[in-house]
Amino acid sequence: MEELTEQRTHNVSSHTHFILNGFQELGALRPVLFLPFSVLLLVALWANWLLLYVVVSQRSLHSPMYVLMAAMACVDLSVPLFFVPHMLLSFLLDWRGISLAGCLLQIFFVHLLGTFQSTLLVWMALDRYFAICTPLYYHQQMALPRFLKFLVPLALRNLVMVSVFVVLAGRLSFCRGNVINRCFCEHMALVGVACGDTSVNSLAGLLTVFLVPVVDFASITSSYVVIFITVLSSGRSGFRALQTCVTHLVVMAVSLTIILVTFLSYRVRNNLPTPVRVFFSTMYLLVPSCFNPVIYGIRTAEIRRHIVKTLSCFHFL
């Protein structure tokens, strides 16, 4: 009886190393994925670096709106670096292993940066609200000391919520195997191979989803409703200002649609094949990083003009 108990204890505490087994259904064709995901990584790095370079190098773009776009580029530049290189090595060299500590670190940084993708859209919405609804007080409201009251609480919220569910996940025991059917470590994917009661972890994940993307989406929607009502009721031409709002709404719609599909694939019973779930879990991080700078570059005339000028300079070097 004692030997059986010791064996069970050993099995429960033995899994501190995991296998990321995403797209294993492809078998020998799995290394082919190295090419498309390498292209996506290069697009994300190059497009965000270019946007960041243009905003930093051009004094005319040092206004709050463009600084927030540069901050979004920093986040979009960082997100792929925390999971895509390991994923590419897994495709090419079959390096699928990751330690528990490495898995928790990946979860922390990927999810923390992911929360800031939606939070930056909130700050951009506030910027447009002050610019369109209270133009006489715009510079006063967007001055850093005053704007910090909007920056700090949301940043602390993101840090606390992500830290809580990562710490809770780190305290779990893993006895249901060490194979995670994902290309990188996600919170619920790791919790799924834990033994014992994981209801607290699921609750922490749900609270994070509600208090970050859901609250952010509600705040953004409310801001833009007020903006559109203000422009329409004032009778003044606000099309130029609204163009930036439309750009933000396009970015928000793309990001939140993918996040919602990924979330529902975890929480709602469905017949989605495992490769499709893995695909969505990867795309909800990669797609915004690739397309946010493209959308801003195409739809924001000032940035588009400086990007063309910068690319022309590089062409003649």
Task: List, for residues 30-73, the tens digit of each pLDDT value.
Answer: 899 999 999 999 999 999 999 999 999 888 888 888 899 999 99
Residue with tokens 């580029």: 73
- Local confidence band at 299 (pLDDT 50, 70, 90 cut-offs): confident
**pLDDT > 90 fraction of the chain, expressed in percent and rounded:** 27
> What pLDDT sits at residue 169?
92
| 162 token code pair | 């992500």
Confidence of residue 16 (pLDDT cuts 50, 70, 90): confident
Position 220 confidence tier, pLDDT thresholds 50, 70, 90: confident
pLDDT of 240 higher than 70: no
Residue 237's pLDDT is what? 54
Residue 43 pLDDT: 92
pLDDT band at 28 (very low <50, low <70, confident <90, very high): confident
pLDDT of residue 8: 45
Lowest mean pLDDT among 21-25, 160-164, 240-244: 240-244
Say what the pLDDT of residue 156 is.
Answer: 96
Average pLDDT of 111-117? 90
Give the mean model confidence (pLDDT) for residues 77-97.
90
Is 60 exceeded by the pLDDT of residue 4? no
In this predicted structure, what is the pLDDT of residue 2? 44
The b-or-e profile of 127-140 (16+ CB within 10 A means b, else e) is bbbbbbbeeeebee
pLDDT band of 243, cuts 50, 70, 90: low
With pLDDT > 70 as the criterion, what percentage of the chain qualifies?
86
- What is the set of domains in the chain, with CATH numbers? 24-316 (1.20.1070.10)
Q: What is the pLDDT of residues 221-232, one digit of tens each?
A: 888 888 888 877
- Whether residue 109 is predicted with pLDDT greater than 90 in this model: the reply is yes
Higher-pLDDT residue of 315 and 225 is 225
Report which of 247, 213, 229 is spatially closest to residue 116, judged by C-alpha positions. Answer: 213
pLDDT of residue 314: 64
- Span 124-181, pLDDT tens digits: 889 989 988 888 888 888 888 888 888 999 999 999 999 999 999 998 888 877 888 8
Encode pLDDT of 63-81 as tens digits: 888 899 999 999 999 999 9
Pair 190, 108: CB distance under 8 Å: no
Statement: residue 267 has pLDDT above 80 = no
Phi then psi for residue 228, to 5 deg, are -65, -40
